[in-house]
Structure 1
């Protein structure tokens, strides 16, 4: 994301109103500040620097004078002047003075006569801190970037862009606690342009913080908020599979497949869910559909083969435990299992084709040929295993 995007503020300086105390230095400061604002609005802020310096000199005297040192108007102008100085000269000292001015003006302005101009000072100071955060981000100093963005929020509370950037900076700094806090603040902001990203990424942050329960909770919220979004749906499915909610999630996967029938991953997840719920036949069917969409889908090929082989192995174990069978009946049933396991062969071969060095897949393939009592093929695969392990 490009964090250079500027936040545009409408700056307001009420010139010529009765809101300002009519003392000499406050009037001088106000007049000089207005001249600076006019030049800044025309894109010539640097040309107005002398006006801003003059405004500072006058307002510094005003807040030190007995008649105006407790005047809300004087402190409002003081905040405006220093906020603009901080923005123009990129100085922390002026920013600190502006923050002091905002605090003092707010305390003194009992009748809210200066509320609009105090707000403007906060906007300018918020912009200054935002710019500081951008500069730190570009240097990859994400800890400082987070602090600057977060400080900007003190003056621009509820600003969704700043809140989002604060969260992003915290993520980059692996500060998942603050990242989660910022992202959660954005959940009600449904009109925010990155709202979907926030909703989908929040469960990932909880996983990074090793809070699986909360990850599952917010993944469900994301899927509910964006029911037609594949990323949100798949994430909810994955997390339910992680925590063992296979049976519960099967219907969710099937509903998503109905919306996105060519999504191979959804059939793969359905296979995992059915397999975990001991529905081997349905699991194999799901894996086959994933492979039909993408014949080179290695994981689906592997799981299809493994599920078929495991099913045959279970039947073989049951067969071996039946001591009452005659040799003829045993051999008949064993041959039927040998025929049944052939269904796994093309999937095993595909996994090996996709990755000839996959020792686990090679061992499974050798086990298949051992079961079929094909010594030549078993020896051939063993040679490949040995070569892969060298």
Structure 2
């Protein structure tokens, strides 16, 4: 019996004709919108919240219809069943990844390993349909607060659709389109009938405009707008990068507005005070202080962070940031001293041990460069300087070995350890350590 049923099902599938092209019932949807236009123009019907709820549904359908069957990681075979055969196929590289592209009348699908990774909508039933849906649902609630539940349901659908558009826009490198979609999702969420805003959407929109600003400077203005709105709402991302992106939005406007240089400085100083461990904020500050006249002395950064440390001497993040600033200033001893404090405060912190060892090796590298530039008149003088260099290299070893104990198999730590031990191979026991760490490094890299 089971075999007979399966045979019948297989025959039914074979009998179903393949869909040859994407079908979007544009005429029917536009007819609904045209009817809605007439309804809202009618004094009696236009005063009813139900009329506006139906209008919201019509515009939402117009926004949704072209891509309603799509979802990320959809099998390519299922895509064909759901939407039909593409009009054409090709290939395109997006963010260093090559995709097979399937071109449909309303969108281009990006396929990788037989999965739909993302898509880019290329045609609309009606531009601005999502915005009009939001307006309609807001009007319905305005006319009758009892329509809140239906309006909220519709607004949530619009917000979810726009959030999805933002997500796929990022993967398709359509940063402006994604930014607009996130901003629109936020608009839907802040509508009176919904009023459950996710402030992270403002951050995403601002961040994406900041990214686009690298090729289109006008986007920096919009990026600053949304990032400031997010901060005004009390939003902060986990590591404080919002200040770094806002810095770029201000700094990117300096050609037309020179006063933006100091404004970008103020943003970074606010950011580093709250997130002293954020390396990008530190790098932004060093860029400003070294590239722009009149911004200030880099030593001001040290005074700022030392003041914060004096008030909170056991704050590991502050010591971490101090070490990074001194590294940027090429003051190896103070950088080492800062990370030594990090390790003192938290001995089993991987980053503390790793960076303390790393900065010892950086100091030794600089000493070695100077040694190679000098002209020596005696072997003894050379040997003395070489010993001083190797002593600093040797000082790095226990911290890097501790880092490896805390994070076994870490290829970056192993890379430094094997190079360090090879450098010190003439010292007692170092060749054995080199063989050990070189073997572990090969294992971590899958070379053995």
* Corresponding position of 1:305: 357
* Corresponding position of 2:164: 141
Pairwise CA RMSD of aligned residues?
Answer: 5.4
Aligned pairs for 1:1-390 (under 5 A) are 75=43, 79-81=46-48, 83-87=49-53, 91-92=57-58, 120-121=142-143, 131-138=153-160, 141-142=164-165, 147=184, 150=187, 164=199, 167=202, 170=205, 181=222, 184=225, 187=228, 193-194=233-234, 202-203=242-243, 213=251, 220-221=266-267, 224=270, 229-230=274-275, 236-237=281-282, 239-241=284-286, 249-319=301-371, 321-357=373-409, 358=411, 359-370=414-425, 373-374=426-427, 376-389=429-442, 390=448
Q: Quick one: structure 1 residues 261 and 237, their matched pair in 2 at CA, closer, same or farther if it must change by over 3 Å?
A: farther
In structure 2, list runs of 5 or more residues that go unmatched.
1-37, 61-130, 167-180, 213-218, 254-260, 291-297, 443-447
**1:346 Cα deviation after fit:** 1.8
1:31-55 superposed Cα distances (whole Å, 9 cap, x missing partner): xxxxxxxxxxxxxxxxxxxxxxxxx
**1:148 Cα deviation after fit:** 6.1
CA distance, structure 2, for counterparts of residue 130 and residue 385 of structure 1? 61
CA distance, structure 2, for counterparts of residue 128 and residue 146 of structure 1? 22
**1:278 Cα deviation after fit:** 1.9
Higher helix share: 1
TM-score, normalised relative to structure 1: 0.54
CA distance, structure 1, for counterparts of residue 153 and residue 210 of structure 2? 21
CA distance, structure 2, for counterparts of residue 298 and residue 132 of structure 1? 49
1:299-356 superposed Cα distances (whole Å, 9 cap, x missing partner): 3323322332333344344445544433334434444444454432321221232344
Q: Which has the larger radius of gyration?
A: 1
In structure 1, list runs of 5 or more residues that go unmatched.
1-58, 65-74, 103-116
1:196-230 superposed Cα distances (whole Å, 9 cap, x missing partner): 669x56446569xx858359956833754x89744
Indicate conservation of the 8 Å contact 2:207/2:245, yes or no: no
**1:260 Cα deviation after fit:** 3.7
**1:274 Cα deviation after fit:** 0.9
Partner of 2:314, secondary structure, is coil
CA distance, structure 2, for counterparts of residue 380 and residue 227 of structure 1? 40
**1:290 Cα deviation after fit:** 1.4
Q: Quick one: structure 1 residues 196 and 384, their matched pair in 2 at CA, closer, same or farther if it must change by over 3 Å?
A: closer
Q: Quick one: structure 1 residues 251 and 129, their matched pair in 2 at CA, closer, same or farther if it must change by over 3 Å?
A: farther
Partner of 2:424, secondary structure, is helix
**1:271 Cα deviation after fit:** 1.4
CA distance, structure 1, for counterparts of residue 241 and residue 318 of structure 2? 20
Q: Quick one: structure 1 residues 231 and 174, their matched pair in 2 at CA, closer, same or farther if it must change by over 3 Å?
A: same
Higher strand share: 2
Q: Quick one: structure 1 residues 311 and 185, their matched pair in 2 at CA, closer, same or farther if it must change by over 3 Å?
A: closer
Count of matched residue positions in the alignment of Structure 1 and Structure 2: 296
Query: Does 300-309 or 167-176 show the bigger shift?
Result: 167-176
Q: Quick one: structure 1 residues 304 and 336, their matched pair in 2 at CA, closer, same or farther if it must change by over 3 Å?
A: same
CA distance, structure 2, for counterparts of residue 166 and residue 236 of structure 1? 22
Indicate conservation of the 8 Å contact 1:79/1:97, yes or no: no
CA distance, structure 1, for counterparts of residue 134 and residue 372 of structure 2? 85
Indicate conservation of the 8 Å contact 2:208/2:223, yes or no: no
